[in-house]
Structure 1
Amino acid sequence: MEVSKRLEGVGEYYFSQKLREIDDMNKAGKQVINLGIGSPDLPPHPDVIKTLQDEAAKPNTHAYQNYKGSPVFRNAISKWYKKWYDVDLNPESEILPLIGSKEGIMHVCMTYINEEDTVLIPDPGYPTYKSAATIAGANVVPYTLKEENNWFPDFNELEKTDLKNVKLMFLNYPEMPTGQLPTKELFQQLIAFAKKHDILLCHDNPYSFILNKAPMSILSIEGAKDVAIELNSFSKSHNMAGWRVGMLSGKKERIDEILRFKSNMDSGMFLPVQLAAAKALELGQDWHDKLNEVYSKRREKVFELLQLLDCKFDRKQAGLFVWAAIPAMFKDGYELSDSVLQKSNVFITPGGIFGNGGNKYVRVSLCATEQKIEEAIKRIKN
């Protein structure tokens, strides 16, 4: 049986393959320390877990749910966006809860992309942008992000590109994998660029609270809703990766269009999960401060590990990872990653999985305890 043509050019996700290799090593007694995956190892707030337990124990919370999500959840998202990003969102028409923002990336692509359309994706950037756009039938064109340009798009280079068929542009700040923070000026440039060329911007914003004191939304910029939508997630900011809770925000017309596709794909999120997520959005600055205190200490340990490998990095980067340039003795990040894995039983992510622009880099996750990172350092020293 042949698979569909839409899967041509789309391979198995890198981490899916790598985790099998690591699992085989562990079965052989290697006890690999995984510093590659960005899956938070800390739990959600106890009040969030209790809300899930209490609501799930009720007999009337197990039915199919509204395709647009619970009004309680949508109102909580609206208040959260106003509090943290100073963005006004109508909870009735400008918010769509998602079963994780990764789902939203696919929904956006399937809603807007025809086979003749082009999608711009960041390089380096999250691999799902490319795979989702490819599955939707798009011509995928990377736009290169360079360290010397603060990992921002080069608008002069973009203007030289054939933009005639470009319909959608993915962006992601704080940027993954580089950890680069956005600026108001960057978002203004992106909005002006999108208006000029009639392009829909899809800003993916799951890292704005991690090691960052000033969370930003592209929707806070004047005129943004005319050309931009924003994905957000509970996975990193509230330690709820496995819960699969996210959201899409934007102009009513965009929400309605994407709902046309989404409503044919699922029947809404489990209500107790939505109500627990609403509780998570009530958490204040203390929650984020305590979480970032943990990540800050871990990051210092990761800096120590990377210095041991003679890698270069920016200490001011945000997000759940540290992005670092490899030493000249290695051909690329894959070679360094494989060397560390085979010699030290420590896995770090090669930057090349995020695009050609990441070939000379590696990425290290902060989702491991200080003790595990310290053990990784000892193994590499030995």
Structure 2
Amino acid sequence: MIKVANRIAEVKEYYFSKKLDEIRVMNAQGCDVLNLGIGSPDLPPAKQVTDKLIASARKPDTHAYQSYRSIPELREAIAKFYNKHFEVELDSHTEILPLLGSKEGVMYISMAFLNPGDTVLIPNPGYPAYKTAAEMMGAQVVSFDLKEENNWFPDLEKIDTQDLASAKMMWVNYPNMPTGQKASTALFEGLAQFAIDHNILVVNDNPYSFILNEKPTSLLSIPKAKENCLELNSMSKAFNMAGWRVGMVCGREEYVNAILRVKSNVDSGMFKPVQEASVEALSLPDSWFAEVNEEYTERRKLAEKILDILGCAYDASQSGMFMWAKIPQGRKSEEFIEEILQERFVFVTPGTVFGSNGEGYIRISLCSNKEMFNRAIERLEMVKV
């Protein structure tokens, strides 16, 4: 047996990959598990978007390899979208790079900028992919605390000076996953200045701005942010296109070109009909987001009812497609969710998946229909956990 590379020796299988396998086994045994844990939108894209995909796919000239930078129309649509919704000016020729999903971007950015031994600052709690990508590059991971008492914002003054001295990159994610906390202008201003002061590349992962959030924001709206900041975005959440794998990274030309050097040696471009359909999606009217959020609002009310049954505390103003909640005092997150799973056949996510500061919390996804939420409520009301 050939040994695996050192870069993945300590990399574990993604939590949800393992948990979904476990749930499949339970379902095969007749348990009928209600999965309220995974953040994969169940709603369809807009009809005109899928119509555009089909029409484009029927053309004989849309099936060849595509430019690594994407078709110009897609970059132009992204630039217009950022200008309309975030008041951010982007040069579509030099400051935008479409990606096969933002998760690809996490890896490509890490490959483009990290050397073995570099320090990467990642949020705790936060998206596990930030840590995994850094470790695969041989970088040193240093977490910074996000805590409820500080509104799930980083305290930049408390980051250790030694860690700052060797830090090359910092990941942030606002609106935040898993906590649902929205960014303030002051936070973004502080991050942009922090990036300059410490010569650190700060990357904001921003796929949740349009879900249950009246004021979408971008780190790049801060004038000096482009100097040392990038922003990842995705069409997975706001446009219900998770399986299409369409994301983007935006920012300074030199940084975008560095990521392109990695990308062009790994993938072979995005399917043109997907690109053309994405252009259609990016031009959807504001009423699209209003309709999607109307559904998520109804689901959130049901999720809140579940949390009330479970005796959890939560912030009703959080945004995004999840509900983050504190479980009853004295309970452990993983024990708590296992009890629900094994006794009531309802799966929610333990906060510890996202880091040690997630202990004592759980996350419910809003990506299930109201019928499933109501069935979960019925099961949980039978006996309190």
TM range (shorter): over 0.9
- C-alpha distance in structure 2 between counterparts of 1:288 and 1:249, whole Å: 22
In structure 1, the partner of 2:172 is 171
The secondary structure found in structure 1 opposite 2:339 is helix
Give the 4+ runs in structure 1 shifted more than 6 A: none
In structure 2, the partner of 1:91 is 92
**Pair 1:328 & 2:329 matched:** yes
- Give the deviation of 1:158 after TM superposition: 1.2
In structure 1, the partner of 2:349 is 349
- Give the deviation of 1:156 after TM superposition: 2.1
Measured against aligned partners, the alpha-carbon deviations of 1:182-202 in whole angstroms (never above 9, x if no partner) come to 011000011111111100011
Measured against aligned partners, the alpha-carbon deviations of 1:102-136 in whole angstroms (never above 9, x if no partner) come to 00000000000001200000000000000011111
- Give the deviation of 1:159 after TM superposition: 5.0
Q: 1:89-238 residue pairs with structure 2 within 5 A?
A: 89-238=90-239
The secondary structure found in structure 1 opposite 2:56 is helix
The amino acid across from 1:127 in the alignment is P
In structure 2, the partner of 1:379 is 379
Assess if the C-alpha contact under 8 Å between 2:142 and 2:163 holds in 1. Answer: no
- C-alpha distance in structure 2 between counterparts of 1:113 and 1:161, whole Å: 18
- Give the deviation of 1:329 after TM superposition: 4.1
- Give the deviation of 1:59 after TM superposition: 0.2
Would the alpha carbon gap of residues 123 and 161 (structure 1) be closer, same or farther in structure 2, given more than 3 Å must change?
farther
- C-alpha distance in structure 1 between counterparts of 2:83 and 2:280, whole Å: 16
The amino acid across from 2:290 in the alignment is D
**Pair 1:249 & 2:274 matched:** no
- C-alpha distance in structure 2 between counterparts of 1:235 and 1:126, whole Å: 15
The amino acid across from 2:346 in the alignment is V
- Give the deviation of 1:8 after TM superposition: 2.5
- Give the deviation of 1:161 after TM superposition: 5.0
- C-alpha distance in structure 1 between counterparts of 2:192 and 2:9, whole Å: 32
Structure 2 length as normaliser, TM-score? 0.98
**Pair 1:278 & 2:276 matched:** no
The amino acid across from 1:337 in the alignment is I
In structure 1, the partner of 2:363 is 363
- Give the deviation of 1:284 after TM superposition: 1.2
The secondary structure found in structure 1 opposite 2:62 is coil
Measured against aligned partners, the alpha-carbon deviations of 1:19-77 in whole angstroms (never above 9, x if no partner) come to 00000010011111000000000000000000000000000000000010100101100
**Pair 1:70 & 2:66 matched:** no
Assess if the C-alpha contact under 8 Å between 2:144 and 2:159 holds in 1. Answer: yes
**Pair 1:57 & 2:58 matched:** yes
- C-alpha distance in structure 2 between counterparts of 1:306 and 1:6, whole Å: 40
The secondary structure found in structure 2 opposite 1:9 is coil
- Give the deviation of 1:9 after TM superposition: 2.2
- C-alpha distance in structure 2 between counterparts of 1:219 and 1:303, whole Å: 33
The amino acid across from 1:167 in the alignment is K
The secondary structure found in structure 2 opposite 1:341 is helix
- Give the deviation of 1:267 after TM superposition: 1.0
- C-alpha distance in structure 2 between counterparts of 1:226 and 1:192, whole Å: 10
- C-alpha distance in structure 2 between counterparts of 1:8 and 1:169, whole Å: 24
Structure 1 length as normaliser, TM-score? 0.99
- C-alpha distance in structure 1 between counterparts of 2:3 and 2:27, whole Å: 34
The amino acid across from 1:145 in the alignment is L
In structure 2, the partner of 1:291 is 292
- Give the deviation of 1:10 after TM superposition: 1.0
In structure 2, the partner of 1:318 is 319
The secondary structure found in structure 1 opposite 2:317 is coil
- C-alpha distance in structure 2 between counterparts of 1:72 and 1:116, whole Å: 40
The secondary structure found in structure 2 opposite 1:164 is helix
The secondary structure found in structure 1 opposite 2:274 is helix
- Give the deviation of 1:339 after TM superposition: 0.5
The amino acid across from 1:216 in the alignment is T
Give structure 2 stretches of 5+ with no counterpart.
none
- C-alpha distance in structure 1 between counterparts of 2:343 and 2:153, whole Å: 35
- Give the deviation of 1:319 after TM superposition: 0.3
- C-alpha distance in structure 1 between counterparts of 2:124 and 2:375, whole Å: 32
The amino acid across from 2:126 in the alignment is G
In structure 2, the partner of 1:263 is 264
The secondary structure found in structure 2 opposite 1:169 is strand
In structure 2, the partner of 1:337 is 337
Assess if the C-alpha contact under 8 Å between 2:146 and 2:154 holds in 1. Answer: yes
Assess if the C-alpha contact under 8 Å between 2:124 and 2:144 holds in 1. Answer: yes
Measured against aligned partners, the alpha-carbon deviations of 1:269-288 in whole angstroms (never above 9, x if no partner) come to 00000000010001111000
| Paired positions, count | 381
- Give the deviation of 1:249 after TM superposition: 0.3
- C-alpha distance in structure 2 between counterparts of 1:31 and 1:162, whole Å: 47
- Give the deviation of 1:371 after TM superposition: 1.4
Identity across the alignment (%) = 51
The amino acid across from 2:376 in the alignment is A
Assess if the C-alpha contact under 8 Å between 2:210 and 2:238 holds in 1. Answer: yes
